[in-house]
Structures are given as structure tokens and as C-alpha cells.
Structure 1
Amino acid sequence: MTEAPRHSVSVTGVVFNDDGQVLAIERDDDGRWVPPGGVLELHEDPRDGVVREVFEETGVKVRPGRLVGIYKNMPLGVVSMAIACTVESGEPQPSDEAKVARWISVDEARQRMPEARLVRVLDALRDDGPFIRCHDGTNLV
């Protein structure tokens, strides 16, 4: 008997600095610009997971805030919780997973990020969420 496919759960940290710039990384594996995040450990609280992932990928320590939304990659079955975060300390720096980690303007995010990732940044700027959205890995569906 074959096992039914399962979902993977991840977290995305949407972090803005005092200048209104968003924390972004250029991924080492595929070169895409995205907000930092990654797979949630099995027994990990999502708030702890987003703190861990943002720090691992950027060196920035954050405090988690409100849930921005839930975003499902339909082909891969990955469900990501985007969490708005505030900076506690640190400056962005590259990591094993990020060729580049830096603050970028929302306009630059619009140019660099695929729609499926950019929407998390734009949703974080709104106050009528949380949102539930589906995407194909690049675009909303």
C-alpha cells in the first residue's frame, strides 16, 4: 500500500525595519529573492520556528508578532505561515542558505520577488488579514 502524500509546514518571517524596508534574502539554491523562512520542526511552536529561521538565514534576531497569512504551494503541498516580526538586534549577513541578506525597499521587492513571495510582504502591510492564499511556487492561483 502506498502512503498518501503529506503536507510540509514552513514559516516565513516578514520583517520591516524603521525605514520601511523589508528583510530579504537571495537564496543560494535557486537565486530567488524571498523573505527568510523555512521548514518548521515537528514539535516546534511556529513563533519559535520563525525566530530560528530568520536568525539562521540572516543573523537578525526578531520578535514574532501577528499572523499575516497562510500560503499553500499547491504542487508541493507546502503550507507556510507568514508571521510579521520586529527586529530585536543584528544586521543582515549571508548564510549557508542565503547568498545575500539585506534590507530592500518594497518597490525593490516588487521587482525581485516572485508573486507567491511578494504577496506575503504586501499582505503584511495591510490590516485586514490574516489571508489564505494558494500558489504554484511562483504565481498565485
Structure 2
Amino acid sequence: MPSSLRRAVVILVAPKYLVGAVAVIRDSESGNLLLLRQPSKAGWSLPAGLLKRHEEPAVGAARELFEETGVRIAPDDLTPGVPNAIVHPVGVVDTVFFGTVAATQAPLDIDGGEIVDVGWFPVDDLPRLTANTIKLLACYDLAPEPATPQPAAEPTAGPETGTRDDGDRP
């Protein structure tokens, strides 16, 4: 098969992903985490967005952070997360970067359209988060992994006492 035809076939059948950048920003004094709320999401999330064509991921993370919260951090001051990429089931790959800033020196500024609220939260007392934010923070031990719902066991009568037996059953 000619290489141009082979390339066309690969482009048609290969999975396609959107690539984004996420900024996980902590207050250098308290360790609090910077979160934001968007009107279209049910919960708080991290500053993030899609990369522009040919944009370096750290540059995109710094840009999104500034656009969404007003907090400015130089891309060189952001540290890539380990792992640096999180793949979401919806076809998005997030590159993750960490940074710190003194919250008292970083006034928060939102537009009220794309972002409706922004704030600093203690890691051990986070507000309700979006599912993707929980998954991402759990990868870095900053949030508990979401519990997988378990089916309720049916109560059974114990052999002699008639009491409830929730033990293992075959």
C-alpha cells in the first residue's frame, strides 16, 4: 500500500484526543488549593483548558490559570506532575502542572461568565468536586478516590438465632 494511502487510513481509524492543560495551584503559606466553579459544571474544578495549536503545555496551563482566576505564574515556575498526563474516558488528555503562589499576593479576578466563583480551600476540607477533578486529584494523593458503589447485601437469617447475618455468602 502506498505510504500516502497508509497515512490516510491511519488518520481515519486512529483515536482522536483533545489535549488540555491543568494547573494545580497551592497557597505557599497555607497549602490551600485554588479551585473554581463554572456555571456548566456541578461542582468545583481546577483551572484548566484546551491547548492552542502548537502551544507548549506549561504555557497553556499558565494561560488558563490567568484567564480563569487572574493568578499569574510564569510557565517556567510550573512543575510537571508525575504522571504528567491523565487520560479521561471522554477523549481528553490533560497535562498536569503544579505551582505555588502566596494567596495574599495573588488577587483573584473572574469574569463572571465562564467562571462564577473562585477560592482557596484546605485539601482536607474540599467542597463538592467534579468527577474529573476528583479523579485527577486522587492521582496525586490530594483527594480520596471516589468510592465505587457496592450492591447492598440481602440480609439473611442466622442458623440458630434468627439474627441478621451479613457475612460472606457463596
TM-score category by the smaller chain?
0.7 to 0.9
User: What CA distance in whole angstroms lies between the structure 2 residues aligned with 1:107 and 1:71?
Assistant: 22
Q: Which runs of 4+ in 1 moved over 4 A?
A: 122-126
Give the structure with the higher percent strand.
1
Contact 1:27 1:100 in 2 (8 A): yes
Matched to 2:32, the amino acid is Q
1:98 to 102, 112, 115: 115
User: What CA distance in whole angstroms lies between the structure 2 residues aligned with 1:139 and 1:6?
Assistant: 30
**Structure 2 length-normalised TM:** 0.63
**Structure 1 length-normalised TM:** 0.75
Once the two structures are overlaid, the 10-residue window that deviates more, 98-107 or 85-94, is: 85-94
Q: Give percent identity, aligned residues only.
A: 24
Matched to 1:117, the amino acid is T
Give structure 2 stretches of 5+ with no counterpart: 1-8, 149-170
2:65 to 54, 61, 76: 54
Matched to 1:39, the amino acid is L
Q: Which has the higher contact order (CA 8 A, sep 6+)?
A: 1
Once the two structures are overlaid, the 10-residue window that deviates more, 6-15 or 97-106, is: 97-106
RMSD: 2.8
User: What CA distance in whole angstroms lies between the structure 2 residues aligned with 1:41 and 1:93?
Assistant: 22
Structure 2 match to 1:72:
87
Secondary structure of 1:16 counterpart: strand
Deviation for aligned residue 1:139: 8.5
- Aligned residue pairs total 127
